[in-house]
Amino acid sequence: GAGVSQSPRYKVAKRGQDVALRCDPISGHVSLFWYQQALGQGPEFLTYFQNEAQLDKSGLPSDRFFAERPEGSVSTLKIQRTQQEDSAVYLCASSLSRVNTEAFFGQGTRLTVV
Amino acid sequence: GESVGLHLPTLSVQEGDNSIINCAYSNSASDYFIWYKQESGKGPQFIIDIRSNMDKRQGQRVTVLLNKTVKHLSLQIAATQPGDSAVYFCAEIWVGGNTPLVFGKGTRLSVIA
């Protein structure tokens, strides 16, 4: 596709509900990143994939957060038993390689936990 | 759309003037420094980057300056336009580190027409 696509654009979840956020990266991009952005803050790193391998998940805030990229393309970020503090914009980015400075971001998924 | 940067420091600039946005970084081992622009409701967009062995790089209407002595990065925008209004983030990449593309704190640029 023309750019990184994320869905849904907005998600409202009741506390305790599981959610799944999807990211379609740019075709051919090896690296895929997930970030969490709270209101008024910069993007905070969550996890990173190189093809299908999850090389760094040090930013995932708890074991309720899980990400996968089984075929090295589309990625899903899953949050189990959502809490109010999970409310944020979740950004996905892709790039040609881990050290490529130009990462392309999607519009993000705005998650609101009520 | 999504509102970004409600609580970030704000720089207000008159249209046509030059803007200077500053960033302090902490990792002296970082290999690349990058500026991203984020408009309301959108994801960050790459503007310009600079390698750690350089001190200046120019793009179209933008210049990035790197002072490694004081760990300071700046973005200069010439002839600021209303379309430049956004939140600007500095970011860095340490090739030898585990975490790729770490973002710093942002600055909201508000252009006064």
Q: What residues of chain B, 20 to 79, have a C-beta less than 8 Å from chain A? A: 31-32, 34, 41-46, 49
Would you say residue B1 lies in a domain? no
* Amino acid sitting at position B100: P
Would you say residue B75 lies in a domain? yes
Contact B99 A56 (CB under 8 A): yes
Q: How far apart are CA A67 and CA A46, in angstroms?
A: 9
Highest mean pLDDT among B21-30, B74-83, B90-99: B74-83
B44 neighbors B89 (Cβ within 8 angstroms): yes
- For A9, what's the count of Cα atoms within 13 Å in the CB-facing half-sphere? 5
Would you say residue B34 lies in a domain? yes
B5 closest CA partner among A17, A43, A106: A43
CATH number at residue B84: 2.60.40.10
B21 neighbors B11 (Cβ within 8 angstroms): yes
pLDDT single digits (tens) A57-111: 999 999 999 999 999 999 999 999 999 999 999 999 999 987 888 999 999 999 9
- State the pLDDT at residue A1: 52
- Read out DSSP for A68-100? E-TTSS-EEEEESS--GGG-EEEEEEEESSTT-
- State the pLDDT at residue A45: 94
A101 contact B CB<8A: yes
Phi/psi for B82 (5° steps) reads -55, -35
Q: Looking at the 3D structure of chain A, how many domains does it have?
A: 1
Would you say residue B4 lies in a domain? no
- Shortest Cα–Cα distance, A102 to chain B (Å): 6
Contact A59 B104 (CB under 8 A): no
Would you say residue B99 lies in a domain? yes
CATH number at residue A33: 2.60.40.10
* Consecutive H or E run containing B105: strand B102-112
- State the pLDDT at residue B97: 79
**Parent domain of A13:** 5-113
Q: Assess whether pLDDT exceeds 50 at residue B1.
A: no
pLDDT single digits (tens) A1-45: 579 999 999 999 999 999 999 999 999 999 999 999 998 889 999
> Strand B102-112 to strand B62-67: parallel, antiparallel, or no bridges (unpaired)?
unpaired
**Parent domain of B77:** 10-112
Of B6, B46, B105, nearest to A39 by CB-CB distance is: B6
B49 interaction partners in chain A (CB closer than 8 Å) = 101-102
- State the pLDDT at residue A76: 98
Q: Looking at the 3D structure of chain B, how many domains does it have?
A: 1
Q: What is the mean pLDDT of chain B?
A: 91
CB count in 10 Å sphere of residue B19: 21
